[in-house]
Structure 1
Amino acid sequence: MNECKQCGTCCRKGGPALHTQDLGLLRESEGLDLTDIVTLRKGELVFDQPENAVAPLKEEILKVKGAGGSWTCKFLAVSSQVCRIYKNRPLECQTLFCGDPDPLLKIYDKDRLTRRDILPEGHPVLELIEEHDRRCSPKKLASLATEVVADWNGKEDLRADLREMMIYDKSVRDLVVEKAGLPEEAMDFFFGRPLGIILKGYGIISTPNGNSFSLRKAS
């Protein structure tokens, strides 16, 4: 019998992606909230565990956030190795057993949730999401970042483009928090990871508003 030993190893590798079967968890009083979710947008570089490789996402996915800037699922109580929402845990957590990954692999890329599955038609932030995806496209960001890193002492025009994207990314998050009264912690759901965090994957360190960039030193 496959029985979880509650060692916390799987939880430390990242929170689960959400599937259509998890929609009900957003309605549970002890389930998930939008502040618990981060959107990984199509084209973002992510680590694919089954493939054991970093690759651009083929489609948007929603994941449970990590804790304290790490990949460790925010619902893992580290001191006891216990899941704090175990009775209402997502489908991937119910399916995963580290001794036999096959059941998880069968559902891994099936019926994944996106922002549009959660936000009702006509939601006031949907238009902003579309505009943000257009102006801050992960594909465009990847192209700019790659070219800037390849010619670090040049490409000032491309640095300016990066700076403009980062300024817009921050401003739209601030606008929604201020005008719509939505919690700042939910912006990772609405607009995905801040561009500064994504840029770190390309070896670029930036100030939050994109005023300056530096290359990350190899450790």
Structure 2
Amino acid sequence: MESEPDNLIGCKRCGTCCKKGGPSFHIEDLSLIEEGFIPAKHLYTIRKGEPVCDNRIDKIISAPSDMIKIKGQGNRWVCFFYMEKENKCDIYQYRPIECRLLDCQDTSGIEQIFGKNLLTRQNIIGKIEGLWDMVTEHDQRCSYEEITKLFDKSGKKKSKYFLQEVSQLIEYDKALREIVVAKGGLESGLLDFLFGRPISIAFKHYL
């Protein structure tokens, strides 16, 4: 493993932070993706308005904007790039700013950037015509603002209309993902980065 910066000399390399999920990306991390050090296929997007846990207050909140994060290993939260047997980071030299600032003994550094200057999909693919249009259309059709309104309107008793709307959104989301892979030639690993987590998973937060 590469040498540690001075503020992390006391790190015990217990892997606790790596096992609790990958970091959120900030504008400062854009070059890591653009230059291929962290491939987009290993990332996923929490979309604006999506229910997400704020670890600072241990409460579910609505994401204020896109949150680009590193995927876990299989069905676990463990960061994709954490090498458990070796107990080290596979991209240590190119790790995101949150990883660089995180100090278990003094969290003031990471707290100062929490939720600020977050990297968005538009920062990364906004200039790619066609692809960005598709992402924007999906966001509009499957926005969490509309999903929340639909849920609030239905109340505890789910109406036939509610179930139909839910079914249509899930089918649209599923079909779009299948089309961009089959006809667009995109890697399936990019889908959760481009369109966020499947709508079928999203509705589990509401039901």
TM-score, normalised on structure 1? 0.85
Distance 1:132 1:196 in 2: 14
Cα separation, 2, equivalents of 1:28 and 1:191: 22
Deviations 1:128-170 (A, max 9, x none): 111111111112223334565711xx41110000000000001
Equivalenced residues, count = 200
Cα distance in 2 for partners of 1:15, 1:122 equals 26
1:70 aligns with 2:76: yes
CA distance in 1, matches of 2:193, 2:87: 26
Structure 2 residues not aligned, in runs of 5+: 1-6
Provide the rounded CA distance (Å) in 2 between the counterparts of 1:39 and 1:54.
Answer: 17
- Contact 1:148–1:159, Cα closer than 8 Å, also in 2: no
Corresponding residue to 2:107 among 86, 93, 101? 101
Give the whole-Å Cα distance in 1 for the aligned partners of 2:12 and 2:34: 29
Counterpart position of 1:210: none
Distance 1:201 1:99 in 2: 33
Distance 1:107 1:158, change over 3 A: same
Q: Which moved more, 1:160-169 or 1:101-110?
A: 101-110
Q: Residues 2, 122 of structure 1: CA spacing in aligned structure 2 closer, same or farther, 3 A cutoff?
A: closer
In the alignment, does 2:168 pair up with 1:164? yes
Among 26, 29, 40, the alignment partner of 1:22 is: 29
- Counterparts of 1:1-219 in structure 2 under 5 Å? 2-3=8-9, 4-29=11-36, 31-145=37-151, 150-151=156-157, 154-202=158-206, 204=207
Q: Secondary structure at the match of 2:190?
A: helix
Alignment partners' CA distance in 1, 2:46 and 2:96 = 17
Structure 1 residues 27 and 60, CA, compared in 2 at 3 Å: closer, same or farther? closer
TM-score (norm 2): 0.89
C-alpha root-mean-square deviation of aligned residues, in Å? 1.7
How many angstroms does 1:108 deviate by? 1.4
How big is the shift at 1:111?
1.4
Structure 1 residue runs of 5 or longer lacking an equivalent are 205-219
The Cα of 1:117 is off from its aligned counterpart by 0.4
Query: Percent identity, aligned pairs only?
Result: 35
